[in-house]
Amino acid sequence: MKLAGYRPLYPGTQPEHLHPPYVSSLKRSPAKPQVRIPFTLSEVTGPSFRPEIVNPKACDLTKQHSGEPLGERIIVSGRVLDENARPVANTIVEIWQANAAGRYRHDVDQHNAPLDPNFTGCGHAITNERGEYRFVTIHPGQYPWRNHYNAWRPAHIHFSLFGPSFATRLVTQMYFPGDPLLPFDPIFNCTADEKARNRLISVFDWETTIPEQALGYRFDLILRGREATPMEE
């Protein structure tokens, strides 16, 4: 069986597992080198989901309760492409985030900021034929964490995508332009390549901004692309 593998990642554009400024990585990152393996049928295939499982209302995080959530309404939209600039259609995009006060609806989050009864902070969508997705949500708040003294996370939205195969799985975070906490955040700064980490910052976008309603932010996601020529396995 002839298989096209996936292109090697551009050096420095992905984090190392161990990033000492991010304290949680010390005890949870492997100490031994990972074993390089060739792509086989197992890695170039991957889970797919019936579009019917997607709740069409799950892309509007401001309409999940009887009332309106507090905070600044925003539109977060973009395209999912591969490294060859081809749209990734019919792939599930999952997001989760803090509310406007910087608090997650999660038992472990004990930050002394109010929960919002009208905001759960999670959603999902499926990309269309052009690889596009769109969410309506609330601008998440910044919040403190205990990584180091006076540590605060910049505002962010978590993204999780499958793409077409096991090899393309991506979990990342989207940030906001002009956030003064970005230079100090060890998670944002875990990647050596400055241009690569700056691509995690969404772009304010007039085109998707709705007058009298919500500001638009664009965030495109790039999944790994295939090698051009199938290798003889």
Partner 1 sequence: MSLQATTSQTVGPFFSIGLHWLNQNDLAAAGVSGERVTIQGRIRDGDGNGVPDAYLEIWQANAHGKYAHPEDTQKKILEPGFSGYGRVPTDREGMFRFTTIKPGPVPGPGDEDQAPHLLVSVFMRGLLRRLTTRIYFPDDPRNAADYILSLVEPERRATLIARRTSQTGVLEWNVVLHGGDETVFFDLGL
For the annotated catalytic residues, the residue numbers are 104, 143, 153, 156, 158
Q: Which is nearer to partner 1, 75 or 95 (CB)?
A: 95
Interacting positions 59-78 with partner 1 (CB under 8 A): none
Q: Which is nearer to partner 1, 45 or 213 (CB)?
A: 45
Where does residue 198 fall: left (phi above 0), alpha (psi -120 to 50 degrees), or beta otherwise? alpha
Rounded Cα distance, 137 and 59, in Å: 8
Interacting positions 98-137 with partner 1 (CB under 8 A): 104-106, 108-109, 120-124
Interacting positions 192-221 with partner 1 (CB under 8 A): 196-197, 199-200, 221
Under the criterion CB under 8 A, does residue 36 sit at the interface with partner 1?
yes
Write down the least CB distance from residue 206 to partner 1, Å.
Answer: 24
Q: Which residue has the tokens 């709740």?
A: 55
Q: Residues 98, 104, 108, 111: is their CA dihedral positive or negative?
A: positive
Under the criterion CB under 8 A, does residue 167 sit at the interface with partner 1?
yes
| Site size for partner 1 (CB under 8 A) | 83
Lay out the site mask for partner 1 across 42-61 (x = CB under 8 A, - = otherwise).
Answer: xxxxxxxx------------
Under the criterion CB under 8 A, does residue 228 sit at the interface with partner 1?
no
Write down the least CB distance from residue 186 to partner 1, Å.
Answer: 10
Q: Which residue has the tokens 């309760």?
A: 65
Concatenate the DSSP letters of all residues of 163-215 into one string: TTSGGG-EEEEEE-TT-TTGGG-TTGGGSS-HHHHHTTB-EE-GGGPBTTTBE
> Tokens representing 232?
């003889």
> Tokens representing 44?
């170039």
Q: Which is nearer to partner 1, 2 or 211 (CB)?
A: 2
